[in-house]
Amino acid sequence: MGLPGGAEMIVVLLVLLLLFGASRLPKLARSMGQAGKEFKSGMKEGYKEEPVEGSCPFCGAEVPAGSKFCPGCARSAEDIIAERALKQKSA
């Protein structure tokens, strides 16, 4: 018996081939590999390792690196990071 999922891999590859064209596949595979690597390293570092230093998106106060709360409005680092991500998405 072959490897489980082997047929599905072929179907996925065929779909990618149709969507992107054969000439672009190697580039796509490379960028997917890089994205996977970055995703894995990001998962390892976790949320608490995200840089919180910079200006607070709520009150504009300068938040020192590694702090758990904003010195201006006392929002948590998680709130600040989440709000920044939201603003980046809408920008």
The whole-angstrom separation of Cα 70 and Cα 52 is 9
- Non-local CB neighbours of 56 within 8 Å, separated by 6+ positions: 62, 63, 70, 72, 73, 75, 80
Q: Which of 16, 25, 73, 81 binds Zn ion (CB under 5 A)?
A: 73
Contact range with Zn ion by CB under 5 A, out of 2-10, 13-21, 34-42, 61-69? 61-69
Which residue of 16, 25, 55, 59 would you call a contact of Zn ion, by CB under 5 A?
59
> Taking CB under 5 A as the rule, does residue 25 contact Zn ion?
no
Binding site for Zn ion (CB under 5 A): 56, 58-59, 61, 70, 72-73
